Amino acid sequence: MMTGLAIGLVLGVTVWWILIQRLKDKPWERQGLIEGSQDGLTSSAPKVGLWVFMAMVTSLFLIFNGAYLMRMGFGHGELLGWAPVDEPGILWLNTFVLVGASGTMQAAAGAARKGDLGALRTWFTAGGALSVVFLAGQLLAWQQLAATGQYGVGDPAFSFFILLTAVHGLHLLGGLVVLGRTAARVWRGLDTENIAAVGKVRQTVRLCTTYWHFLLLVWLGLFTQLSIT
């Protein structure tokens, strides 16, 4: 809860400061075309859209975080039936796999920037494959937990464990849909003369990379919280 509040506060102050810089204009005094202002639709719209989406997902996970802490009674949850989950060791392996996915995506973005189509194919596909491995690993972790026979649906810590990992996994799955479509286009071959098509692929790869880093951060936060509680 405190971490959530602190993150919220820092974000709030930052946004406020940016706003104050932008909002002190007196439009009734400034007349005419303002130079340097944008001119219709910009090419960075998808990037801004992604950042807005990630802000929303951050809000979703912070709220889940708050609900989690409140349900566990801020560490005094024995009376509320809170029995901590003993996380299976495979989660460490999954974490390394996701770090690897994030790294390969970064390499893919680098290859796209340099226009190296062969390297792009390799890294991008490797990123997707590692993500699938991560998801499979998460399913395995569920299975291992269920196999211990210690936990039932009525156990809040166990329910939260499944719910939070599922929500994170679904977000990764959504990313994989975009990745899959772009990877298919890259594999079909790209007309390097077509500047618009190349630009679009380059942008999508870059956005996928950002999103993968973001989901890695979310997972690290989630994993930390699940481990220490």
**Site residues (vs other proteins, CB under 8 A):** 12, 16, 19, 22-28, 31-34, 37-46, 48-49, 52-53, 55-56, 59-60, 63-64, 66-67, 70-71, 77, 79-82, 153-154, 156, 159-160, 163
Question: What DSSP string describes 104-151?
Answer: HHHHHHHHHHHT-HHHHHHHHHHHHHHHHHHHHHHHHHHHHHHHH---
Q: Please, which residue, 24 or 188, has the CB nearer to other proteins?
A: 24
DSSP 8-state code for residue 192: T
- Going by C-alpha positions, the residue among 164, 136, 141, 129 that lies closest to residue 90 is 141
Q: CB of 52: closest distance to other proteins in angstroms? A: 5
Q: CB of 102: closest distance to other proteins in angstroms? A: 23
Q: Please, which residue, 89 or 199, has the CB nearer to other proteins?
A: 199
- Residues 205, 201: Cα–Cα separation, whole Å: 6
Q: CB of 30: closest distance to other proteins in angstroms? A: 8
Burial class (CB in 10 A: 0-12, 13-18, 19+), 209: buried
Q: CB of 224: closest distance to other proteins in angstroms? A: 20
CB 175 within 8 A of CB 131: yes
Q: CB of 195: closest distance to other proteins in angstroms? A: 13
Q: Please, which residue, 66 or 89, has the CB nearer to other proteins?
A: 66
Q: Please, which residue, 6 or 163, has the CB nearer to other proteins?
A: 163
Burial class (CB in 10 A: 0-12, 13-18, 19+), 20: exposed
Q: CB of 229: closest distance to other proteins in angstroms? A: 15
Q: Please, which residue, 184 or 196, has the CB nearer to other proteins?
A: 196
Measured in whole angstroms, how far is the alpha carbon of residue 98 from the centre of its chain?
Answer: 11
Q: Please, which residue, 37 or 228, has the CB nearer to other proteins?
A: 37
Token pair 């799955």 is found at 173
- Residues 154, 216: Cα–Cα separation, whole Å: 29
